[in-house]
């Protein structure tokens, strides 16, 4: 396979790192381009050995997949810039939040188009990715795309409209967990721990809990840790009193709604 990444930000880098690290793709099978940041392209070339798209952009015509990995506001300009170079067998895969398949096809025509929402854990092969595709994506192309995305983590096929929820949970989710981890570290420091010890304990707690979540029901795990009138019950009560579940719901819904807004802005 050959892939051209149009856009060279953190998401593109995470996916490139995952593909190469998992040996799903060779560096020479991946090419990168962006609108103006040559230094960024040089960095990716030096760091991972990927190709920089040449001036005549011949790589676009040879690509099996074109990855649109720029900000939503830049998608239209990018598509206009590459449209004439595309061939009929190419699948366009967008990871730009909110930009619909219809919007992309308005600029490129009846090409095979898919939308994916990975997260930056792709870098370590642990992304939670949602994907949806247009009617022009063949069964073989679907299989290849799922294989490609599976190499950087788990893949869930959804209807396109459900990608807003996927964005709210999985696409943005790592940042929520990082913020929660930051808050736990600060609470540990406030209760007498050193910063180093608090970080060590929080990292291991997250690591162990994440492993347990793969094995058993979430609610059952919580109940098993929570002894009546014990320390965990006291801590959870503070979360209940502050309506933690509503806060989390608002967090996810706000991200999902922003995804919907972005889609309307670029229709």
Find the mean pLDDT for residues 250-254: 98
Is-contact 12 152, C-beta < 8 A? no
Find the mean pLDDT for residues 35-48: 92
pLDDT at 110: 86
| CA dist 239 → 38, 153, 155, 171, 252 (Å) | 47, 31, 31, 24, 17
pLDDT at 88: 80
pLDDT at 267: 66
The total number of structural domains that make up the chain: 2
Q: Residue 71, annotated ligand binder?
A: yes
For the stretch 227-246, pLDDT in tens is: 999 999 999 999 999 999 99
pLDDT surpasses 80 at 32: yes
pLDDT at 216: 95
Residues 83 and 191 in one domain: no
For the stretch 131-143, pLDDT in tens is: 999 999 999 999 9
Find the mean pLDDT for residues 197-201: 98
> Of 137, 158, 179, which one is at a domain's C-terminal end?
158
Average pLDDT, the chain: 93
pLDDT at 115: 96
Spatial distance between the Cα atoms of 65 and 164, rounded to a whole number of angstroms: 23
User: CATH code at 219?
Assistant: 1.10.3730.10
Residues 64 and 91 in one domain: yes
Residues 101 and 139 in one domain: yes
Spatial distance between the Cα atoms of 42 and 51, rounded to a whole number of angstroms: 9
Find the mean pLDDT for residues 193-222: 97
Bridge-based pairing of strands 112-117 and 127-133 is antiparallel
- Pseudo-torsion of CA 196, 199, 202, 206, nearest 10°? -130
Residue 163 contacts by C-beta under 8 Å, 6 or more apart in sequence?
115, 117, 130, 132, 259
Find the mean pLDDT for residues 12-40: 91
Find the mean pLDDT for residues 7-17: 90
Q: What are phi and psi of 156, to 5 degrees?
A: -125, 120
Find the mean pLDDT for residues 51-63: 89
Q: Residue 2, annotated ligand binder?
A: no
pLDDT at 168: 96
Residues 129 and 186 in one domain: no
Residues 51 and 69 in one domain: yes
Distance of CA 92 to the CA centre of its chain: 16
Q: Residue 116, annotated ligand binder?
A: no
pLDDT > 70 fraction of the chain, expressed in percent and rounded: 99
**DSSP class per residue in 151-188:** TTEEEEE--GGGHHHHIIIIISHHHHHHHHHHHHHHHH
> Of 158, 181, 196, which one is at a domain's C-terminal end?
158
Find the mean pLDDT for residues 2-22: 91
Q: Residue 27, annotated ligand binder?
A: no
Q: If pLDDT is split at 50, 70 and 90, which confidence band does 25 have?
A: very high
User: CATH code at 32?
Assistant: 3.40.50.720
Structural domain for 201, as ranges: 166-263
Q: If pLDDT is split at 50, 70 and 90, which confidence band does 42 have?
A: very high
Residues 119 and 191 in one domain: no
Residues 57 and 122 in one domain: yes
For the stretch 68-110, pLDDT in tens is: 999 888 888 889 888 888 888 899 999 988 899 999 999 888 8
Strands of the sheet containing 65-68, edge to edge, are: 51-52, 30-33, 3-6, 65-68, 91-94, 112-117, 127-133, 153-157
Residues 113 and 183 in one domain: no
> Of 129, 158, 187, which one is at a domain's C-terminal end?
158
Q: At which residue do the structure tokens 């690591």 appear?
A: 207
Maximal CA-CA distance, the chain: 70
Find the mean pLDDT for residues 143-157: 93
Among candidate residues 116, 140, 136, the one with its CA nearest the CA of residue 128: 116
Residues 13 and 117 in one domain: yes
Residues 80 and 182 in one domain: no
């Amino acid at each position: 396979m050959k892939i051209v990444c149009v856009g060279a930000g953190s998401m593109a880098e995470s996916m490139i790192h995952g593909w190469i690290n998992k040996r799903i793709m060779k560096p020479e099978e991946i090419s990168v381009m962006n609108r103006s940041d040559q230094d960024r392209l040089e960095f990716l070339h030096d760091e991972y050995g990927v190709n920089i798209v040449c001036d005549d952009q011949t790589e676009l015509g040879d690509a099996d997949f074109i990855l649109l990995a720029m900000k939503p506001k830049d998608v239209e300009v990018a598509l206009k810039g590459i449209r004439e170079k595309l061939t009929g067998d190419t699948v366009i895969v967008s990871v730009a939040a909110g930009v619909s398949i219809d919007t992309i096809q308005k600029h490129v025509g009846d090409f095979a188009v898919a939308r994916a929402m990975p997260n930056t854990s792709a870098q370590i092969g642990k992304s939670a990715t949602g994907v949806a595709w247009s009617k022009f994506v063949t069964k073989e192309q679907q299989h290849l795309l799922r294989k490609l995305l599976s190499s950087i983590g788990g893949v869930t096929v959804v209807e396109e409209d459900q990608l807003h929820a996927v964005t709210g949970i999985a696409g943005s989710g790592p940042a929520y967990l990082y913020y929660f981890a930051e808050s736990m570290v600060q609470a540990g420091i406030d209760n007498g721990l050193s910063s180093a010890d608090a970080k060590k304990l929080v990292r291991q707690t997250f690591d162990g809990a994440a492993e347990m979540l793969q094995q058993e029901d979430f609610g059952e795990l919580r109940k098993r840790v929570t002894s009546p009138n014990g320390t965990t019950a006291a801590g959870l009560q503070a979360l209940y009193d502050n309506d933690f579940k509503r806060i989390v719901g608002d967090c996810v819904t706000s991200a999902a709604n922003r995804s919907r807004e972005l889609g309307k802005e670029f229709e």
